Structure 1
Amino acid sequence: MSNLRVLDLVIIALYLVGMVAVGVYFSRRNVNPEQYSSASGLIPGWAIGLSIYATFLSSNTFLGVPGKAFGTNWNAFVFSLSMPLAAWVAARYFVPFYRSTGEISAYTHLEHRFGSWARTYAVICFLLTQLARIGSIFFGIALTLQALTGFSMEWIMLITGVCIIVYTVLGGIEAVIWTEVVQGVIKTFGALLILYLVVDNLPGGVAAVARIGQQHDKFSLGGFAPDFTTSTFWVVLLYGFFINLNNFGVDQNYVQRYHTAASAQQASKSIWLCVWLYVPASLLFFVIGSALFAYYQVHPELIEAVKLKVAAEKLAPGASAAEIARAAAALVPADYGDKVMPHFMVTKIPAGFVGLIVSAILSAAMSTISSGMNASATVFTADIYQRYFKPELTGRQMLRLLHLGTVVVGLAGMGVGIAMIGVKSVLDVWWELSGIFAAGMLGLFLLGVISRQTGNAEALTATIIGVLVILWMTFSDRLPADLAALRNPLHKSMIIVVGTLTIFLVGLLLGKLRRHKTLQENPAPAHHSVV
């Protein structure tokens, strides 16, 4: 039975219809692949910046961040604090580089630099990253709507997925960007509305949030000791810098937007607009998580329904009420943080407002998924199909292939989301998967752009070593007890840091060694002075 009122359902339905209508409107302009993938370079910088902001502000942020703040503290906010430095590097070096190449794909350069294997490897890493991102976002939206509607998570993913696929296929990148502009505003308004309603229902208001948060150390950014085995301030800062550098510098989602701007200056401004919007917006979601924690500390009886539901899901079907109650009593806030905001929406938000907030959460999911689908289809068409199967494609054939790729990626992302049902924290899952897939891609790209001495053989050797290091760091915790000494001692957020640096530094070293050997074998002729 649905917990949504008729007014809420009408608002949600109108939002979904509106998004599909946007796709239909822009479909009239998509007469060639250039318009579909880059909007012919006619999008203003401020709109691109808002669209990048909306992509960052996904449902992982909308649901995962408050859940993380509720269950632990503000340690994950350090991720956002790393954004300005990564943005500076991207605006200073990456944007001019991509604009000068004129290539719509971020990975074509790797083939020019190292060969087809490098381009293919980066494309595979990117597509795996996108599937992980899309899947985690589908899972996050289904988690919320299940609590509100009572429908199965699978059906929720299917219905929302079809709507996203339709407007993305019809409208192309122009529809994606302009809907994200609207969605960015809706998301921000929805977050402010949630915070207002939580504080308004909490006796003592903001003062109670601050007092209870301080009592339970909820505002901590993590330890400042030089410890890389736990999620300290420095671990999250390093993770955030490398992930954001990957986002702004290597991820096709963002690189493709740079080509939609009229100039490199406009593209660089879009990055900075995203940063100045996202950092305070992400802080807003951590404040929401802390406010929810304070609210349920004041009303502990209200959280029991959430704990019982989570406990029942963890136990085998048919567990007795006593078994479920014992399991619920053993839960800690980190075990049910992602479930808290949906519960608050169901029980405390008045009719009409729920529809607006669900629309905001839907917009958070749809913007990131649609941009990921469009970028993945572009990469598949340019870097796989044209490269290996049919280099000469007519504009009509390429447009049809872009449409097909968008649909396939959307359906595959739904499958990943369904596979994630039952995970503990959507934010943790996304961070771990993105770190694994992005590490090799970023390391190889930095090697190709920065080092002029590294050749094909050295880059391939460095990548193989880097992938082995990434695999070891990811799976060594499964080694038996007698091999415990071989387990990765570092926190899993360090995978992208170590993996990226391994590929880059090993490639740099091998390049220098090759150059040194070449100079020894072929010394430059000596120049003698004439007396």
Structure 2
Amino acid sequence: MTLRTVDAVVIAAYLVGVVGLGCWFVRSSRTTQGFMVAAGRLPGWVVGLSILGTYLSSTTFLFVPGKAYATNWNAFAFSLSLPLAAWIATRWFVPFHRNCGSVSAYDHLEERFGPWARTYGVACYLLTQLARVGAVLFGVSLIMATLTGWSQATIIITAGVLVTLYTAMGGIEAVIWTDVVQSVVLSVGAVTLLVLLVLGMPEGPSQAWRIATADDKLSLGGFAFDFTRSTFWVPLLYGLFENLKNFGIDQSYVQRYHTAATERQAENSVWIGALLYLPLSAVFFAIGTLCYTYYQAHPSMLLEVQVAAAERLGEAASAVAPSDLTAAQVGDSVLPHFIVHGLPTGATGLIIAAIFAAAMSSIDTSLNSAATVTLLDLYKRRLRPDVGERESMIVLYATTALMGAVGVGVALAMIGVNSALDTWWKLSGIFAGGLLGLFLLGVLAKRAKRPAALCGVIIGVLVILWMSLPDLIQQYTAAPAWVLSPLHAHMTIVVGTLTVFLVGVAVSRVSSFIAAKP
């Protein structure tokens, strides 16, 4: 595709505006407190929109509609868990982190369980953020290459340099305010798509409703308590634990609690982010459902999408006629096709800017929080406890630049190796599950000591590995099928977290019982 001049101008204006806004805050980020927590002076609604921006991503923009196109609204149960997770976060997590005396989300792990726990937490977080930066850059390059005709490498390098530039110059305040803008742009883009899809139905909204209900596209999944398949309860539980991980132990969120002017405003920011994401995610699912009905109503255009999907899948679909591809195989190609062929001039540029916005919002958060963790948990804790302000700022700038550069390198290495993306996220999920369990053990089990925590983490990570890597287990151990986990993959973080917590509690109580015996 060759971009029309108007669309190119819209994209260029957006990029210049966002980078300029980020660099505007260079003066307020010249101190460590300004760079890391904006001196704790931001209003709750701004922080809340920033949390919303952190939730949204370019993969959300395309993956969620693709999922709804291929299946139904089952995955929407993930979003329905947010109010409960937000209530838990505002009731316990936000006050805990605001009053713990440290900007780092991992400082208290050392206080509870020793240096190994803090090191484990920091290592997991940095690896996860590195994976996230590379994955988001790689993902947005796939999307943007399809929409613009630019090379993936050009998109990765350009996006990486721009985000790293304004994040390093403007610090957390630049991240938060640009996230606010990006959240607005993304929301406007999503609503625009929704309206245009409805208007594009030959017989109007009623036709979309008839097709969607006839093909069971609005189902939330079965309500049986079956955790071996994706019933309603599986994404709901997955969402609850994933969101508890975000609100409780993810530095990206914890750091935002400290940027709010008061504890109440920090709590309000969590509610704003959560309650805005709920209807927005419904919009993205509606976009996917409307894409399905739109292309069912336009069979000639559906064939074009199927051909494009077959080209994207390459050898994987070489033996299958495009018209015989499954909805799951076609799903990720539908929305890009509509953006290219179904939008008026100017609207295409707005949507592409929205996709770029989502990607940048994910990356800048990772860069700033990783720099903060590096300074507080590694440099000051391990190397230079008495480091001065000037040297601290050098570390923050250098780490931001290094994370950006390595993230670009990871994304470039992923070009042409689609399986690498799944591998990165699978590994990050393995680390994150154990980390949430350790955090809950430290907060809820007051009598748990170091041995109990260590036993919980070791056994929990082994369980997570067992559930996450069934193919590798069977390949390298020749294990029979009955040895493998029967549970749905989304139950991994649920089971892993509970294993770490419950094993830690059990070991703690056994240790207390033995110590109490005469």
Deviation at 1:427, TM superposition (A): 11
Give the letter aligned to residue 220 of structure 1: S
Is residue 148 of structure 2 the alignment partner of residue 149 of structure 1? yes
**2:59 matched residue in structure 1:** 60
Query: Partners of 1:210 and 1:117 in 2: how far apart?
Result: 55
Query: CA contact under 8 A between 1:64 and 1:427: conserved in structure 2?
Result: no
- Aligned match of 1:385: 379
Cα deviation, 1:163-221, whole Å, max 9, x if unaligned, reads: 11111111100011111111111111110101111111111222122111112111111
Specify the alignment match of 2:285 in structure 1: 286
1:38 alignment counterpart:
37
2:367 matched to which residue of 1? 373
1:346 is aligned to 2:340: yes
Q: 2:401 aligns with which of 386, 407, 424?
A: 407
Per-residue deviation, residues 357-395 of structure 1 (Å, max 9, x unmatched): 111111111111111111111112211222222222211
Instruction: Compute the displacement of 1:300 (Å).
Output: 2.3
After TM superposition, list the pairs within 5 Å mapping 1:501-516 onto structure 2: 501-516=498-513
Q: What is the DSSP-based 3-state SS (H/G/I as helix, E as strand, rest coil) of the residue aligned with 2:175?
A: helix
Q: d(CA) in 1 for partners of 2:422 and 2:192?
A: 26
- In 2, the alpha carbon distance for the partners of 1:57 and 1:128 equals 20
Who is 2:138 aligned against? 139
Aligned residue type for 1:78: A
- Matched residue, 1:455: 449
Note closer, same or farther for the CA distance 1:420–1:219 as it changes in structure 2 (3 Å cut): farther
TM alignment of 1:488-499, pairs within 5 A:
488-499=485-496
Task: Give the distance between the partners of 1:423 and 1:202, measured in 2 at CA.
Answer: 37
Amino acid at match of 2:90: A
Q: How many angstroms does 1:483 deviate by?
A: 2.0
Aligned position for 2:124: 125
Cα distance, 1:188–1:426 mapped onto 2, change above 3 Å: farther
SS in 1 for 2:171: helix
In the TM superposition, residue 347 of structure 1 has moved relative to its aligned partner by: 0.7
| 1:89-238 alignment, distance < 5 Å | 89-238=88-237
Q: Distance between the aligned counterparts of 1:295 and 1:398, measured in 2?
A: 55
Q: Percent identity?
A: 52
SS at 1:163's partner residue?
Answer: helix
Structure 1 spans left out of the alignment, 5+ residues? 522-531
Give the Å deviation of 1:53: 0.9
Match of residue 487, structure 1, among 484, 489, 494: 484
Q: Does 1:14 align with 2:13?
A: yes
Corresponding residue SS for 1:124: helix
- Give the secondary structure class of the aligned counterpart of 2:125: helix
Contact 1:20 1:163 in 2 (8 A): yes
Distance 1:67-1:417 versus aligned 2 partners, 3 A rule: farther
Match of 2:241 in 1: 242
Offset of 1:253 from its aligned partner? 0.5
User: Across the two proteins, how many residue pairs are aligned to each other?
Assistant: 515
Instruction: Give the CA deviation at 1:329.
Output: 3.8
SS, match of residue 102 in structure 1: coil
TM-score (norm 2): 0.95
Could you tell me which amino acid in structure 2 is paired with residue 368 of structure 1?
A: S
Larger radius of gyration: 1
For residue 135 of structure 1, report the CA deviation from its aligned partner. Answer: 3.0
CA distance in 2, matches of 1:355, 1:348: 13
Could you tell me how far apart the structure 1 residues matched to 2:209 and 2:131 are?
35
Kept in 1, the 8 Å contact 2:430–2:461? The answer is no
Question: Following superposition of structure 1 onto structure 2, how do residues 425-440 of structure 1 map, counting pairs within 5 Å?
Answer: 432=426, 435-440=429-434
Letter in 1 for 2:514: K
- For residue 60 of structure 1, report the CA deviation from its aligned partner: 2.0
For the residues of structure 1 that align with 2:508 and 2:276, how far apart are their CA atoms? 41
Match of 1:360 in 2: 354
Query: CA separation in 2, counterparts of 1:472 and 1:484?
Result: 12
Moved more, 161-170 or 136-145: 136-145
Quote how far apart the aligned CAs of 1:314 are: 3.4
Q: 1:134 to 1:209 in 2, by over 3 A?
A: farther
Q: Deviations along 1:98-128, whole A, 9 cap, x unmatched?
A: 1111201000000011011101111122122
